[in-house]
Amino acid sequence: MLFSELGLIEPLQKAVAHEGYKIPTPIQEQAIPVVLAGRDILGCAQTGTGKTASFVLPLLQRMHEQKQASGVSGHQLKALILTPTRELATQIHESIETYGRFLRLKSVVIFGGVSQSRQVSDLRRGCDFIVATPGRLMDLMSQNYIVLNGIEYFVLDEADRMLDMGFVHEVKRIISRLPRKRQTLFFSATMPPAIQSLVKEILTNPVAITVTPESTTAELVDQKLYYVQKNEKRALLHHLLKSNPRESVLVFTRTKHGADRVARDLNHAGFNATAIHGDKTQQARERSLQGFKDGKMQILVATDIAARGIDIDDLALVVNFDLPNIPESYVHRIGRTGRAGSFGKAISFCDFEEKIYLKDIQKFIGQTVPVESNHPFHVALMEPLTVASSASSSGRSMGGGKRYGRKFSQR
């Protein structure tokens, strides 16, 4: 199917063609006609699937046609798009401007971490869309700069991440201010019980759309597994980066402290690296991300929460310095380099204590990640051993009365 077959009006087709797109992604092909028909959507889709265009394009069309029919020439707030992070809000705002370049619709982006004066000034000039993060939106609502009683289209993007970041109460308060009669588009990469409960509260007879099974995303990425002792991970990372001196690399750690430590170590070793995580200020995160996108920084070290939703073109490599303890996070991570059907490369380090995570990941993606043993730090990891409860405390207790010895045989 082509974009020209989705029922989009000529100005939108022209904008899509201007960006060089001819064939919609699966979620765009499924969602655009449903949104144009006025239905609610429950979309289970991760980033990198073309999700943003799947709701931006049809909402632009519905609002343009509505404005044409009413004869209104100014800007009236009709659509609210709620996102968990400043980075994602900015990307969606830019998409509205890009796809709506031939339409007379205006978007304002609202987020915290910066002075509100510019945002208030933009709001006073009028807008059709607001793209916002929950905290700043609540602030501006409490000051009566934003009133939501005219909203007809509501998008909640990355709902599971909203919960991860502790925004659930803000989200519910915002939803309580919306008109009950509206079209709601709900997107989440995963559907835990708390998300399912929220779905029942805010959607009306939704069309469920699930795209890009996790295994498909994994299959688009050239994955390699490097067994390494924990205390040699940094040396292995240096070794790999020296082999690829000009490539842009996204490195994942499990913790914020770990991200800072890895970035600091890389800079001491002569690499250009910066860290991004939830404890960084919005300005610091924006500077780090922009420096990485501009090529001023070769390496971006990130945690899962910080990196989801970040869209980086031509990312050469993802390195899992630490394996995630949640299998879905592995797919989200490696998907940074396998965007919308393109191929990418991902390398994962695994020490002995992480083998339990590796087992869960491989079961989840339905693949065995190939082991790369041709590197100076390779170790053969011993199988877990059942040891008496009086065994040395140097093992890692995993429950069930078992303790796993941490033995390596160097090759």
- pLDDT in single tens digits along all 411 residues of the chain: 888 899 999 999 999 988 878 889 889 999 999 999 999 999 987 666 788 999 999 999 999 999 999 887 789 999 999 998 887 898 899 999 999 999 999 999 999 988 999 999 999 999 999 999 999 999 999 999 999 999 999 999 999 888 878 888 999 999 999 999 999 999 998 888 888 999 999 999 999 998 855 445 666 789 999 999 999 999 999 999 988 777 789 999 988 899 999 999 999 999 999 998 877 776 788 788 888 888 888 899 998 766 655 667 668 789 999 998 877 778 878 877 856 555 678 999 999 889 988 988 888 888 899 999 988 898 875 444 333 333 333 333 223 333 233 333 333
Secondary element (H or E) of residue 312: none
In a domain, 404, yes or no: no
- Are 28 and 63 in a shared domain? yes
Amino acid at 8: L
Helix, strand, coil fractions of the chain, as percent rounded to 5: 45, 20, 40
- Are 254 and 267 in a shared domain? yes
What ranges make up the beta strands (E) of 38-165? Answer: 41-44, 79-82, 107-110, 129-132, 153-156
CA–CA separation, 354 and 361 (whole Å): 11
The phi, psi pair for 157, rounded to 5°, reads -105, 140
CA–CA separation, 95 and 89 (whole Å): 10
* Whole-Å CA distances, 108 to 24, 93, 127: 26, 7, 6
The phi, psi pair for 394, rounded to 5°, reads -70, -15
Longest Cα–Cα distance in the chain: 80
Name the one residue in this structure whose structure tokens are 């992480």: 354
- Are 208 and 223 in a shared domain? no
- Are 200 and 295 in a shared domain? no
- Are 32 and 178 in a shared domain? yes
Q: Which domain holds residue 310?
A: 215-378
In a domain, 390, yes or no: no
215 in helix, strand or coil? helix
In DSSP terms, 393 is beta-bridged to none
In a domain, 383, yes or no: no
Q: What's the token pair of residue 3?
A: 């974009």
- Are 204 and 221 in a shared domain? no
- Are 204 and 222 in a shared domain? no
Count of structural domains within the chain? 2
Please, are residues 377 and 231 in contact by the beta-carbon 8 Å criterion? no
Q: What's the token pair of residue 173?
A: 């308060």
CA–CA separation, 233 and 224 (whole Å): 15
pTM score of the predicted model: 0.63
- Are 228 and 344 in a shared domain? yes
